[in-house]
Chains A and B, each alone.
Chain A
Amino acid sequence: MKKMIALMLKDFKLLFKDKMAVFFTFIFPLIFALVFGSIFAGDGNGSRALRVAAVDQDQTEQSQQFITELSAADEFKVQLTDEVNAKTLVRKGKLVAYFILPQGFGEDYQSVFSGNAPDILVGIDPSRKAEAGYLEGSLMKLGIKRFENAFTNADALTEQLDRSIIEIEQSDEVPAEWKSLLGDYLPKMRALAQEQQDAGGSISFGGDTEANPMVPLKVTRQDELVQRSGPRNAYSITIPQGAIWAIMGCVIGFAVSLVQEKTLGTMNRLIVAPISRTQIVAGKALGCFVAQVIVVTLLFLVAYFILGVSFDISKLIIAVIASGICFVGLMMFFASLAKTERSVAGMTNAFLIMMGMIGGAMIPLFVMPGWMQAISDFSPVKWAILALEGAIWRNFSYGEMMTPVLILSAIGIVAFILGTRMVKLEDA
């Protein structure tokens, strides 16, 4: 084992001495994922607005005004619909969230000093914590506008105060002390508002949040689990594609290095040394496999911590191992066919690029036309991407993971056996 590890470490040293190889193995896939991910992440007009559905169950002037303000806000791209459709759209991941303005919204909305904070129900996937926070903040900003309206319009303020004085007098919920205080205070304030059109001030009614009308909005969040039928973001697609490019870089690099051992004559030293041919081949295969694992791990660390791509770690490990087996086998196979570095590089490049094209390394599988998707079944790249996507956004069960995993493993094992049988180490 020590000799195999020595072989592997030597290959890594050689790999890192070759700046172009390092670029195409480690940097290019990341650039690919980032560039294409950021291109696909936009909706075409550069807008970052959250796509939401709005359901107006109140159907009052105030609720309609609120939805108009919501639609005008830069933070949202609003689709007005009914409750059932709104929930479906969010569950299918087509919209980020929905807002429901329940009956009574308008009444609470226009009551500034009395009544309750206007209720608004927000449905969003619980895992979308960042969007939920952003969404609530944006809603509160809009909610504050009702105070602006109330306090900057003297007529509206006077009307508000009249209504509030009556409501407080009739209310059983407001404590007697507060009633007495407000009965004294609000009429004075009304008089002042009448005299000074621009009167303002901070008035607190105390009590808990639900009963506090001075709270701009009472946002109630409702968890709405998204049915993961599509990728969460563009990086969920481009990261597996980038991983494939990285794996392809490893395959070409190690296939060339195996042939190079023969052309340089260093293979002769290995054969004469007390190390078996199996160990030599296994050392190369181990190097290729570990390089693939390292580069894919780095990509997924970037994806997770920087690009917000989440995945099922155990399924991802299975996908990476299966892809590794497949592409190590292919590396051995191509190395066995060629006699020069140029021929192995050309042959492997041509094969992998073609497989990449039809397998989804360039165009995502799900946007391919049907006939192309059928052809892609013949590409190991397709199965590798499918396995990786299964761990990221396709939500594959372990049973579903088995299809790509078994196909990848079978390709890898057959190619490896053929390769090790055909390879002539002493060809130097």
Chain B
Amino acid sequence: MIIVKGLQKRYGSIQAVDHVSLEIPTGHIFGLLGPNGAGKSTSISIMTGLIDADGGSVELDGLEPKSMKARYNIGLVPQSIALYEELTALDNLAFFASLYSLTPDVKSSRIDWALQFVGLQDRANDRVSEFSGGMKRRLNLAASLLHDPDYIFMDEPTAGVDPQSRNKLFDNVMELKELGKTIIYTTHYMEEAQKLCDRVGIIDHGKLLALGTVNELLHQYGGDTKLSISSEKGVKSFSSANVSEDLTNALRDIDKVYDISMNRPDLEAVFLNLTGRQLRD
């Protein structure tokens, strides 16, 4: 379990992280959703021990992330492609694996597993500089899994990725969840959060504005569903908090219905309602 309490971080006059508190149960996929500059990466950097917080605390199974024991359990998938482009995929993985005191046999089998996991086993001996953007992203993920960590922090892992590689990455995330891993996933794509995450935290200007399951957030902050009925009486549009009841009532007086359209709220709407801005502003 990850417990974050009152996390704070300031860069000059900018409050990058402002009293963020949350709990992430083991085996969950937790999404941190927010626009660029909202404080997602800074929060992840503090949670992984990459940078120090000005205030607050982070515990991973009761351990500080900077402790050596905790580090063996942290897998970081950085936002940038953190690989040596002039080395082969295999050389990269061999080097990063060597930082985790693995025995030669374990190291070798973990490298094979990681390459297989991200579908790059056929390109093991190719230089990373020859890879496509999607392949680099997948290798970026593989490099974080070599030591079989329980906590995997993924900082915008699909940035600049083609649809095929994106889907492969989604599959990888779901497979990791099935393996019992706890995943912290930052993104500014609400579709990704909606699709992958058990729980989502919405962050903006360093503040955690809302926290819950996708349904809880939609219900609480998404607003009403937009309904539109086209009939012999014309087009009738209205908002509804209770779709089944309102739709039943609306159809009672209509004999011939041509079309019904329903626009359910999404996390974009949740963000809009919470901040008054679009997620991609």
Tell me, yes or no, whether B224 is within 8 Å of chain A by CB. no
Complex Cα distance, B96 from A6, in Å, reads: 9
A266 touches B51 (CB 8 A): no
Least Cβ distance of B137 to chain A in Å?
Answer: 13
> A5 — nearest CB in chain B belongs to which residue?
B98
Complex Cα distance, B87 from A264, in Å, reads: 13
A14 touches B86 (CB 8 A): yes
CB neighbors of A among B62-85 (8 A)? 68, 71-72, 74, 76, 78-85
A274 touches B72 (CB 8 A): yes
Tell me, yes or no, whether A272 is within 8 Å of chain B by CB. yes
> A16 — nearest CB in chain B belongs to which residue?
B86
B98 touches A272 (CB 8 A): no
**Size range of the interface on A?**
20 to 34
B71 touches A6 (CB 8 A): no
A272 touches B49 (CB 8 A): yes
Tell me, yes or no, whether B235 is within 8 Å of chain A by CB. no
Chain B residues lying within 8 Å of A271, measured Cβ to Cβ, are: 49-50
Tell me, yes or no, whether B238 is within 8 Å of chain A by CB. no
Within 8 Å by CB of B78, from A3, A14, A18, A268, lies A268
A6 touches B99 (CB 8 A): yes
Within 8 Å by CB of A428, from B71, B74, B80, B86, lies B80
Chain A residues lying within 8 Å of B143, measured Cβ to Cβ, are: 269
Chain A residues lying within 8 Å of B50, measured Cβ to Cβ, are: 268, 271-272, 426
Tell me, yes or no, whether B186 is within 8 Å of chain A by CB. no
> A424 — nearest CB in chain B belongs to which residue?
B51
Within 8 Å by CB of B87, from A2, A17, A270, lies A17
Chain A residues lying within 8 Å of B45, measured Cβ to Cβ, are: 268, 426
Complex Cα distance, B239 from A180, in Å, reads: 147
Contact with B along A259-302 (1 / 0, CB 8 A): 00000111011111111000000000000000000000000000
CB neighbors of A among B197-252 (8 A)? none
Chain A residues lying within 8 Å of B87, measured Cβ to Cβ, are: 10, 13-14, 17
> A257 — nearest CB in chain B belongs to which residue?
B84
Given A264-B82, A264-B83, A270 and B91 contact (CB-CB distance below 8 Å): no
Q: How many A-B residue pairs have CB under 8 A?
A: 71
Chain A residues lying within 8 Å of B85, measured Cβ to Cβ, are: 264
> B48 — nearest CB in chain A belongs to which residue?
A272
Chain B contact residues, majority secondary structure: loop
Chain A contact residues, majority secondary structure: helix
Within 8 Å by CB of A269, from B72, B79, B82, B91, lies B82
Within 8 Å by CB of A10, from B72, B74, B84, lies B84
Contact with A along B91-104 (1 / 0, CB 8 A): 10001101111000
Least Cβ distance of A244 to chain B in Å?
Answer: 27
B82 touches A274 (CB 8 A): no
Given A269-B96, A273-B99, A14 and B74 contact (CB-CB distance below 8 Å): no
CB neighbors of B among A387-428 (8 A)? 426, 428
Complex Cα distance, B98 from A3, in Å, reads: 7
Within 8 Å by CB of B98, from A2, A18, A428, lies A2
B96 touches A264 (CB 8 A): no
Chain B residues lying within 8 Å of A270, measured Cβ to Cβ, are: 99
Complex Cα distance, B273 from A54, in Å, reads: 105
A268 touches B82 (CB 8 A): yes
Chain B residues lying within 8 Å of A274, measured Cβ to Cβ, are: 68, 71-72, 99-101
Least Cβ distance of A7 to chain B in Å?
Answer: 8
Complex Cα distance, B48 from A216, in Å, reads: 88
A265 touches B95 (CB 8 A): no
> A6 — nearest CB in chain B belongs to which residue?
B98
A264 touches B71 (CB 8 A): no
Least Cβ distance of A17 to chain B in Å?
Answer: 4
Least Cβ distance of B154 to chain A in Å?
Answer: 13
Least Cβ distance of A9 to chain B in Å?
Answer: 8
> Can you name 9 A-B pairs with beta carbons within 8 Å?
A2-B98, A6-B95, A6-B99, A10-B84, A18-B86, A264-B84, A265-B78, A272-B71, A273-B100
Supplied contacts A2-B101, A14-B86, A274-B99, 20 more A-B pairs, CB within 8 Å: A10-B84, A10-B95, A13-B87, A17-B87, A264-B82, A264-B85, A265-B79, A265-B80, A265-B81, A266-B82, A269-B76, A269-B96, A271-B49, A272-B76, A274-B71, A274-B100, A274-B101, A275-B99, A426-B45, A426-B51
- State the A residues within 8 Å of B (CB): 2-3, 6, 10, 13-14, 17-18, 264-266, 268-275, 426, 428
Q: Which 5 A-B pairs have the closest CB atoms?
A: A265-B82, A265-B80, A6-B98, A273-B99, A274-B71
